Structure 1
Amino acid sequence: MSHAAKMRILMAGTGLLLMAGPAFSLDGGDLLAKINAAMGMAGSPVNAQSVDVSGTTVTLKGATYKPVAEQEATPLGDVTLEGVQEESDGGYFIETVNFPDINATEDKTTVSVSDITMSNVSIPADVTGDTLDSVLVYEEASAGPTTVSVDGKTVFSLASSRSTTDVAEDNSSVGFEVEVEGIKADLSAIEDAKSRDAVQALGLTSLDGSMRISGNWQAGQGVVDIEDYTLAFTDVGTLSMAFSFSGYTMDFVHAVNELGEAQAQQGDQKSKDAAGLAMLGLMQRLTFNNAEIRFEDAGITNRALDYAGKEQGVSGETMAQMLKGMTPLVLAQYNVPKLQTMVSEAVNAYLDNPGSFTISAQPADPVPFPMIMGAAMGAPNTLPDVLGVTVEANQAE
């Protein structure tokens, strides 16, 4: 082959590569559009002044977040998406999303949040599917120290927050966990004198605690299990909740999103009221499986009795006896003798020796929400039996 022929082939090949180049580059505008679509909100909640693409890094310059049309957009600054890959189905995978630190001030209040990141984020190409392939999911999201200050004084802070998800290989379910550490609140600066006195008497001028949430969503079956939702505060107590319901399928999610978009576009109150009724109709697709609420005392009960008693001119012990006597009288008007007995016995045991107080609802079979609503309106005294309610005090977990 002649040298001239070789040069022509080389130049032709180079030209093809140059023409093919744009096809392999990321489309930042498409990525942003699909992020917005996956968020399930009306309009485009995330916007940017420009979308810059450099290799596998996409930067949303001057990004803003506006979840509700009536609200003003919240400025986010420059959000950097690193390790962005376009998937074969048109979706995207993002290794890391880095948000700039937040330091926003309005009037006398300043909110600061640092070290905000997300990792291994999957953006669906199509949000209308019936599996988790059509949902925005991430492996981990975290934030560092968060503070809220008023007039330069910190009134609320978090040391750190972290949430993780674990999607099943067949995309049929996702497990999730949330951990918030170092929750601190300063209630000493409450302006209302009576409320300030109550806070001081209850020993609540400062709060120190944490939060944990863990659960699972089986998208195919529509079952949501919140296995643990716990708030724990030093010298106050621990409030734990768990509940499960069914019917939260992808079809339900799509219907809620569509209704939310339609409601956001409604201008008059009549249309908004109609949309609210439609949302209530959607809720009737859900089924109640079980629930439990448990409080473990760490000193707040006796302080509350002492405070309430002082307001009535009696001791905390006398206040406890008064509450024990009032409980069956209050419940008698609801015509639920079985529940009245359970609650009265539990209240007596708890007030005598504050330990734990547990309310459980374990129906023999799952109960559709319409049946619960019907019982609540037509025969409220049957609800404890319908839901399998039990009340206990000072029972070991």
Structure 2
Amino acid sequence: MTMHKSAQRLMSSLLFASAAIAILPHSAFALDGQDLLKKINAAYASSGVVINASGVDVNGDTVVLKDANFTPEDSKDKTPVPVGNVTMTGVAAMDDGSYEIDRVDFQPINVTSEKSTITASDLYLSGVTVPGKTGTNDLSSMLFYEKAHSGPIAIKADGKDVVSISEIEATSAIEDDGASLSFDAAVNGVKLDLSSVEDPNSKETIDALGLSNLDGKMTMKGSWELHSGTVDVEEYALDFKNIGKLNISFSLSGYTMDLMKQIQEAAAASKANSADPQAQQAAGIATLGLLQQMSFLGADIRFEDAGLTARALEYSGKKQGVSAKDMGQMIKAMTPLLLAQAKLGALQNSVSAAVNAYIDNPKSFTVTAEPENPVPFPMIIGAAMGAPETLPKVLGVSVTSND
């Protein structure tokens, strides 16, 4: 009877313990902080930088890299760049050896060198995935984040703000099929003070064009499809008040995970043998070989004027001793002569017409490349080197204004 009761008590204890373990949160199990740091470095290896820390503290689902620094490994200058403590919260180890991290917070930056100071705050990543393995050719082998953020950034020289940014935010997302990645970024509140430029000629030009104090933003949006290696950058724009907006979009194919790794390896080998001319030549040839895998699909370059053109005509005319209107007429007259030397064929007329319309009423100027079929990069390089006048036809170039 006693043995039977003892067995019952033992069984009850085991069942209770099993139930307690089953309902404990994942973070109740100790995380391996050193393994996490090792896998972060493995995923980050292609950048040529190693992350070191004086210690790795683990407390529940929080991991802190103590006194961390970034050390360049493939550069002559291997001086570590200190970043202080890096705090990772909501860390979870997955069954496949990867890690998911809710948020990574960096300490504010305040670096002074001679007469310059750089400050940045509110630096963090969120929705971070650290791969368990890096050898596969899919997105699961990449260090991935859903959002990267920086608050105010300022660069000062002699105590005066030279460059400041109010906020940077970049987001990315892996599509449900796991075969493509979308991304976008915005750099807001960009201010550049060029009033302290000392060179007289440069200062004169900057003042005349109204470039002493620039205020604007930068934006980017695009996607990457892994199987075909299609990179589609829908927008890469610089937009500054009283200047204008320059937007570049382009699309290319063949930039697969495998090609990306080959290019990274070639770049690393080139850096490692930077003092050897023959090695550099071999690296250049190897890079051209890799580019054979890529094709150009299209591009669009568009400038929307916000006052810069009028000031440029005024300044150029003053230099020539004529009015802005006369300067515009001179440019319109010179354009066909310059284009004739380039041997652009039928494109010459459309370019001249676009320039004339833009000079008369500067609103927008657009250069578009839409080839009928994808153009391999080696064909573009060959045409540029051997017969540059054929490039417009090869790439399907057209030029318009004020559309």
Give the drift of 1:160.
Answer: 0.5
Residue 126 of structure 1: aligned partner: 133
Counterpart of 1:351 in 2: which secondary structure?
helix
Residues 287-302 of structure 1: pairs in structure 2 closer than 5 A: 287-302=295-310
Check 1:187–1:53 CA distance in 2 against 1; reply closer, same or farther (3 A cut).
Answer: same
Task: Write out per-residue CA displacement over residues 250-299 of structure 1, whole angstroms, 9 at most, x where no aligned residue.
Answer: 11122123223333433632324422332232122110000000000000
Counterpart of 2:336 in 1: which secondary structure?
helix
Counterpart of 1:133 in 2: which secondary structure?
helix
Q: Could you tell me which amino acid in structure 1 is paired with residue 50 of structure 2? A: P
Distance 2:56 2:285 in 1: 40
Check 1:353–1:37 CA distance in 2 against 1; reply closer, same or farther (3 A cut).
Answer: same
Check 1:25–1:265 CA distance in 2 against 1; reply closer, same or farther (3 A cut).
Answer: farther
1:82/1:94 contact within 8 Å kept: yes
Check 1:154–1:390 CA distance in 2 against 1; reply closer, same or farther (3 A cut).
Answer: same
1:377 is matched with which residue: 385, 400, 403?
Answer: 385
Q: Does 1:348 align with 2:353?
A: no
1:320 is matched with which residue: 307, 325, 328?
Answer: 328
Residue 76 of structure 2: aligned partner: 70
Residues 160-239 of structure 1: pairs in structure 2 closer than 5 A: 160-239=167-246
Percent of pairs with identical residues: 47
1:34 is matched with which residue: 26, 36, 39?
Answer: 39
1:343/1:392 contact within 8 Å kept: yes
2:105 is matched with which residue: 81, 98, 107?
Answer: 98
Q: Could you tell me which amino acid in structure 1 is paired with residue 58 of structure 2? A: V
Q: Could you tell me which amino acid in structure 1 is paired with residue 52 of structure 2? A: N
Check 1:29–1:277 CA distance in 2 against 1; reply closer, same or farther (3 A cut).
Answer: farther
2:50 is matched with which residue: 29, 37, 45?
Answer: 45
Distance 1:102 1:331 in 2: 50
2:288/2:378 contact within 8 Å kept: no
Q: TM-score, normalised by structure 2?
A: 0.91
2:29/2:60 contact within 8 Å kept: no
1:269 is matched with which residue: 267, 273, 276?
Answer: 276
Distance 1:382 1:195 in 2: 36
Deviates more, 1:351-360 or 1:1-10: 1-10
Distance 1:265 1:33 in 2: 23
Q: Could you tell me which amino acid in structure 2 is paired with residue 48 of structure 1? A: A
Counterpart of 1:203 in 2: which secondary structure?
coil
Residue 57 of structure 1: aligned partner: 62
| Length, aligned pairs only | 389
2:160 is matched with which residue: 139, 153, 166?
Answer: 153
Counterpart of 1:226 in 2: which secondary structure?
strand
Distance 1:264 1:200 in 2: 41
Q: Could you tell me which amino acid in structure 1 is paired with residue 393 of structure 2? A: D
Give the drift of 1:337.
Answer: 2.1
Give the drift of 1:311.
Answer: 1.4
Distance 1:338 1:66 in 2: 54
Q: Could you tell me which amino acid in structure 2 is paired with residue 373 of structure 1? A: I
Task: Write out per-residue CA displacement over residues 61-115 of structure 1, whole angstroms, 9 at most, x where no aligned residue.
Answer: 1111234522332211111111111111111111100000001111111111100
2:351/2:399 contact within 8 Å kept: yes
Distance 2:109 2:384 in 1: 45
Q: Could you tell me which amino acid in structure 1 is paired with residue 75 of structure 2? A: A
Distance 2:222 2:104 in 1: 24
Counterpart of 2:75 in 1: which secondary structure?
coil
Deviates more, 1:130-139 or 1:271-280: 271-280
Check 1:367–1:306 CA distance in 2 against 1; reply closer, same or farther (3 A cut).
Answer: same
Distance 2:116 2:171 in 1: 30
Distance 2:266 2:327 in 1: 50
Residue 278 of structure 1: aligned partner: 286
Give the drift of 1:8.
Answer: 12
Counterpart of 2:342 in 1: which secondary structure?
coil
Check 1:44–1:31 CA distance in 2 against 1; reply closer, same or farther (3 A cut).
Answer: farther
Q: Could you tell me which amino acid in structure 1 is paired with residue 76 of structure 2? A: E
Q: Could you tell me which amino acid in structure 1 is paired with residue 282 of structure 2? A: A
Q: TM-score, normalised by structure 1?
A: 0.92
Q: Could you tell me which amino acid in structure 2 is paired with residue 29 of structure 1? A: Q
Distance 1:151 1:4 in 2: 81
Deviates more, 1:290-299 or 1:330-339: 330-339
Counterpart of 2:227 in 1: which secondary structure?
coil
Deviates more, 1:139-148 or 1:369-378: 369-378
1:130/1:220 contact within 8 Å kept: no
Counterpart of 1:45 in 2: which secondary structure?
strand
Give the drift of 1:42.
Answer: 5.9
Distance 1:34 1:259 in 2: 23
